[in-house]
Amino acid sequence: MLDAAALRGRLNGVRDRIARAADRSGRDPASVRLIAVSKTFPIEFIRAAADSGQTEFGENKVQEGLGKIQQTLSLLSLRWHLIGHLQHNKARKAATAFHIIHSIDSASLLQKVDEAAAAAGRPVEVLIQVDLAREPTKHGAPADAVPAIVELAASCRAVRLTGLMTLPPAADDPADARPHFAALRDLRDRLVAGGAEPLMLAELSMGMSHDFEVAVEEGATMVRVGSAIFGDRGAM
Ligand SMILES: *Cc1c(COP(=O)(O)O)cnc(C)c1O
């Protein structure tokens, strides 16, 4: 059941916490974008968040995201982020609807998305998902594969690379995520020092409901927050 007032309260609470974490670390709060992760939640939750001024939404599955994008076309200012793993055979569909894809994890996937975006005549922004912990179950490119993907992105026609994304191993203590967030920032800084175009690596997508403040302290420019805004997904 949607309680729009409670949702608005949680959304504003998350915004306040982002602003305070930015202040603490000497950053401009406006340099951090909040992506509201609406996966599993129905359209009325998205409308309620949009009514409270939220414009950026994240989904982790292509099909579910496409449905929601279709159903909210009248809300013209919304921007949709694909934050979950993207299979090659769904690259075309994803490139026709999402604005930003966070989960590019290989040169071949980047190429597929670029071809699809060019064919659709539509610019798509992408981030490279980096697997820093090297967990067997995780998606993402190993850090040593990132330079080649960045290089390929420089020659893409319709796709614009703007940064890196990571998803650290699940941990009870948010502080456990800090070294992973710092490692993503360090990787970015090393790539730029090595000659990569800074605008291609400006964004760091990191931090979720339980650790977004730590991520902001470590330089996140996009935080992907679901349950702290929409509530417990298990309860849906
Ligand atoms: C679900 C999801 C999130 C948000 O998770 P919460 O804990 O609900 O904030 C962020 N990033 C990715 C990749 C996700 O799949």
Q: How far apart are CA 148 and CA 109, in angstroms?
A: 13
Ligand 1 pocket mutation, candidates 61, 83, 230, criterion most atoms within 8 A of CB: 83
Give which of 135, 138, 125 is closest to 82, Cα–Cα.
Answer: 125
The number of angstroms, rounded, from the C-alpha of 14 to the middle of its chain's C-alpha atoms is 16
Q: Please state the length of the chain.
A: 236
Q: How far is the CA of 119 from the centre of ligand 1 (A)?
A: 30
Q: Range with the lowest mean pLDDT among 3-12, 100-109, 130-139, 153-162?
A: 130-139
Model pLDDT for residues 104-125, shown as the tens digit of each residue: 999 999 999 999 999 999 999 9
Tell which wins on pLDDT, 139 or 80. 80
Q: So what's the pLDDT on residue 235?
A: 61
pTM (two decimals): 0.97
Mean pLDDT in residue range 49-54: 97
Query: Minimal CA–CA distance to 210: which of 196, 197, 223?
Result: 223
The residue whose CA has the least distance to atom 10 of ligand 1 is 224
The alpha helices in the chain, defined as continuous H runs, are 4-24, 43-51, 62-71, 91-97, 107-120, 146-153, 178-193, 212-217, 227-230
Give the residue whose CA is nearest to atom 7 of ligand 1. Answer: 209
236: pLDDT strictly greater than 70: no
Tokens of 186: 């360090």
Residue with tokens 């610019």: 123
* Across 29-50, average pLDDT: 98
- pLDDT above 90 (res 137): no
